[in-house]
Amino acid sequence: MSVNIAANLKLINDKIRDAEKRAGRPEGSVKLMAVSKFHPSEDVLSAIEAGQFLFGENRVQEAFEKFPPIIEAHPDTELHMIGVLQSNKVKNAVKVGSCIESVDRLSLLDEIEKQCAKIDKKIKVLFEFHTGEESKSGFESQEELEEALTAIKDGKYPHVIPSGFMTMAPFTEDKNRVRKSFVMLRELAQRMKEKYPDFEMNELSMGMSGDFEIAIEEGSTLVRVGTAIFGERDYSK
Ligand SMILES: *Cc1c(COP(=O)(O)O)cnc(C)c1O
C-alpha cells in the first residue's frame, strides 16, 4: 500500500499544533521526530522534501547504512538514536547520531565517552527512564540516574551533554496508565533539573503514534512518530 508521507506529516504537525494549543503551551514548543526504522532511504528523502529534518532510528546497523549519504546530501538532517544500545554498537551510533536518547545505564556513558573522544565529537544524550510496566528499557531507579548525572558533573564524561529525558509509555488502551507514565517522567525531570541546575536538561522525549497527544498535554517537547508518518513497518525484512 502506498503511503503519502507529505500528507501524513502535515496531519501530524497540525495535530501537534492543536495539542499545544489545548494544553496552553506556546506554538512550536513540541518538535516532531520522524522514526524511519524499517523504512527505506527513499521514504526519508520524501520526508525531507516535505520539510522534515529530524529523524530517529533504533538499530545502529540500519541507521549507519542509511543515513550518512542522506546527511551528506542534506546537511540539515539530524538523527537521534532511540533504541536499546549495546556497547559494541556505540562507535557507529555516535558517528551517525547527534543525540543518543536511550542512555539506560552508567556503563554506556563510559563507551560513549571513549568513542566520542576518539573522533573529537560532543554528543547530546537523553536518559531513558522506565515508567511503564511492560516496557523493559530504561533506568529503573532515581539513584542510578543520579549516579550517572553526578559522574558527568564531576567531569568524568566531557564529551557527553546531558540534555533531558526519554520514556516509552506502556502499550495499552488504558489512557490513564499512559498518562501516568508521562507524568512520572516529567516529575522526575523536574527533580533532576533542580538537583543538577548546571545542566540544560529541557528535552522531554515522550509520545509515539498512538499517544503523542497525551504526551504533549503532559509536557513532552519531542514526540517520536513512526507509523503515523511512514505506515506500518515490515518486520520480515
Ligand atoms: C519505533 C519507535 C517509535 C515510533 O513508534 P510508532 O508507534 O511507529 O510511532 C518511538 N520511539 C521508540 C523508542 C521506538 O522504538
pLDDT digit string, tens, across residues 71-117: 999 999 999 999 999 999 999 999 999 999 999 999 999 999 999 99
Query: In testing the pocket of ligand 1, which one of 127, 224, 227, 229 has its CB within 8 Å of the most ligand atoms?
Result: 224
**Looking at the domain assignment, is residue 235 inside a domain?**
no
Rounded CA-CA distance 237/94 in Å is 25
Does residue 147 carry a pLDDT above 80?
Answer: yes
**Looking at the domain assignment, is residue 110 inside a domain?**
yes
> Which ligand 1 atom is nearest residue 225's CA?
9
Domain that holds residue 202: 5-230
Q: Which residue lies with its CA nearest to atom 10 of ligand 1?
A: 224
Hey, CA dihedral for 136, 140, 145, 148, is it positive or negative? negative
Does residue 237 carry a pLDDT above 90?
Answer: no
Residue with cell 549507519: 64
> Tell me: the pLDDT tens digits for 153-176?
999 999 999 999 999 999 999 999
Rounded CA-CA distance 10/20 in Å is 15
Which amino acid, one-letter code, is at 21? K
Q: What is the CATH number of the domain that holds 77?
A: 3.20.20.10
Residue with cell 536499546: 84
DSSP-derived secondary structure letter, 40:
-
DSSP-derived secondary structure letter, 156:
S
When the pLDDT of each residue in the chain is averaged and rounded to a whole number, the result is 96
**Looking at the domain assignment, is residue 236 inside a domain?**
no
Mean pLDDT of 131-146: 88
**Domains in the chain, number:** 1
**Looking at the domain assignment, is residue 237 inside a domain?**
no
Does residue 4 carry a pLDDT above 90?
Answer: yes
User: What's the confidence (pLDDT) of residue 1?
Assistant: 57
> Which ligand 1 atom is nearest residue 224's CA?
10
**Looking at the domain assignment, is residue 78 inside a domain?**
yes
pLDDT tier for residue 136 given thresholds of 50, 70 and 90: confident
**Looking at the domain assignment, is residue 113 inside a domain?**
yes
Grid coordinates in use for 159?
A: 564529551
**Looking at the domain assignment, is residue 44 inside a domain?**
yes
User: What's the confidence (pLDDT) of residue 206?
Assistant: 98
Kindly state if the Cβ of 138 falls inside 6 Å of ligand 1. no
Does residue 234 carry a pLDDT above 80?
Answer: yes
User: What's the confidence (pLDDT) of residue 132?
Assistant: 86
Kindly state if the Cβ of 160 falls inside 6 Å of ligand 1. no
Kindly state if the Cβ of 225 falls inside 6 Å of ligand 1. yes
**Looking at the domain assignment, is residue 28 inside a domain?**
yes
> Tell me: the pLDDT tens digits for 201-212?
999 999 999 999
226 C-alpha vs ligand 1 centroid, how far in Å? 6
User: What's the confidence (pLDDT) of residue 236?
Assistant: 85
